Structure 1
């Protein structure tokens, strides 16, 4: 689920100022593929989930109830989701900059 969220930015189709050129759709497809293939963002998301799980387990164990497992799950979700949102934003920015680099007037 977290990985799917991170990939959503690569599916972004931006808004143009003006009429799309004949090459626009092919360029969108190419730029989306470029953004999707940035797998280092996936590794960052996995790392954030692992760190979140570790921190959550420690904090959960320190709690009066001593629920390290619950803390680990909550920490993994928080870390993974936060990183997935960031990865999605970065992939969306790649699509936008790629299209601008190909001469399209992208406004958002």
Structure 2
């Protein structure tokens, strides 16, 4: 029997997409004085971080892995495949979320390293 896919996941996906580039807006904590070029340096480092792709091969792999793991887990633990599609959908969203969280952390690290490379004592 065919059951249409419910669109309950769309708000979650849109919310995740809206936050996808938040790591590029990271404000590093600087210990010590900042020079007159601080704003320019920070803007350039943020631009570098923002230039990293939001969706790439690792995103597809995370979504696929999450969907497969949740689907298999549903079949194993429920001993049937009645909720396979729902479980796979939840797993896909979980994989997407994990990938976006990692990409935001990577963007923050890019900003920290970029600012350190420009001579700032970044402590957080």
Is the TM-score greater than 0.5? Answer: yes
- The ranges of structure 1 where at least 4 consecutive aligned residues each deviate by more than 6 angstroms after the TM superposition are none
Aligned residues: 107
Deviation at 1:67, TM superposition (A): 0.4
Conserved 8 A contact 1:6-1:42: no
Conserved 8 A contact 1:42-1:87: no
Computed over aligned residues only, the root mean square deviation of the Cα atoms, in angstroms, reads 1.8
Query: Gaps (5+ residues) in structure 2?
Result: 1-14
2:109 is the counterpart of 1:93: yes
* Structure number having the greater helix percentage: 1
Q: 1:58 aligns with which of 35, 48, 72?
A: 72
Deviation at 1:42, TM superposition (A): 2.5
Query: Gaps (5+ residues) in structure 1?
Result: none
Higher deviation after alignment, 24-33 or 1-10: 1-10
Greater Rg by CA: 2
Q: TM-score, normalised by structure 1?
A: 0.85
